[in-house]
Amino acid sequence: MAYATFEYQGRRQVGRVDGGTLVPLAGLTELGRDTSTASLARAHELTGEAVPLREVRLLPVVPNPDKIICVGLNYHSHVGETHRELPSYPVLFTKFASSLIGAGDDILLPPESGQTDYEGELAVVIGQPGRRISRDAAPAHILGYTVANDVTMRDFQYKTHQWLQGKAWDRATPLGPCLVPPAEVDLASAGIRTILRGEKVQSADLSQLIFDIPTLIATVSEFTTLLPGDIILTGTPGGVGYRREPQVFLAPGDEITVEIDGVGTLTNRVRAE
């Protein structure tokens, strides 16, 4: 089972994916703050209004999250390629809702940056609000998982010790295509891959996270209340373009795909802004 936020004939809706169609859910216009785990489960399906997936525009799974919390340096392979020490506390930064685009939307390359990089990631969507959530309680707060590409302007990221200016560019962070419930994803074995210009540039599995998802939820909720629709990007594995020799950056016309087993395939093209 999977869910998507989409537009069809000028109308924004939430639908359950049923093969090649989307079955709209009554009363829901987007996944977000008003779609808790309970409200999504009890939503009535409008089976008579199902639409073909090929005819809709897929939006970011959560178009307007209250918070987007991102984690850096959370795979051993990525820490190794940066020549940093293993973090003892998650490296955290934020993005804005204006950063998000959907599956099939173009990633915009800003004219100010010459070092736009890719970062395939698993994203966690919160389904139950909570503050100071324990690790044991954390799974009950997850609405589901989706795929993200934490596109980064490296020349801006490293202007300071803070990463915000390299991470939060408008219309540069793909999120989607669908939300998959936690019970349907095997985090112990699922692989994650990034494919650029037909070449696999990142490959790992989710068990290699340094800080697992319950730890991330517990850590973030210690200092801020997590709300339905909030997103946590869990970090990227090794193989980013900035650390390759020679370096590899996104260019106009590129197609880039992030795949996560059991979660989905997120493909976008790149164009100059």
- Tell me the pLDDT tens digit for each residue of 205-222: 999 999 999 999 999 999
Contact at 8 Å (CB) between 114 and 168? no
Report phi then psi at 225, rounded to 5. Answer: -75, 125
What is the CATH number for 84?
Answer: 3.90.850.10
Answer yes or no: do 107 and 9 share one domain: no
Same domain, 231 and 162: yes
Domain count within the chain: 2
Residue 78 contacts residue 211 (beta carbons within 8 Å): no
Q: Do both 131 and 245 map to the same domain?
A: yes
Whose CA is closest to 106, among 258, 256, 263? 256
pTM of the model: 0.96
Q: Which residues of the chain have pLDDT under 50?
A: none
Q: Indicate whether 63 belongs to any domain.
A: no
- Dig out the tokens for 179 from the structure: 């939300």
pLDDT of residue 74: 94
Domain span at 171? 68-272
Domain membership of residue 263 (yes or no) is yes
| Residue 16 confidence (pLDDT) | 97
Model confidence pLDDT, tens digit, residues 68-111: 999 998 998 787 777 788 889 999 999 999 999 999 999 999 99
Q: How many CA atoms lie within 13 A of 19 on its CB side?
A: 3
**Pair 140, 29 in one domain:** no
Q: Do 127 and 248 reside in the same domain of the chain?
A: yes
- Say how many residues make up the chain: 273
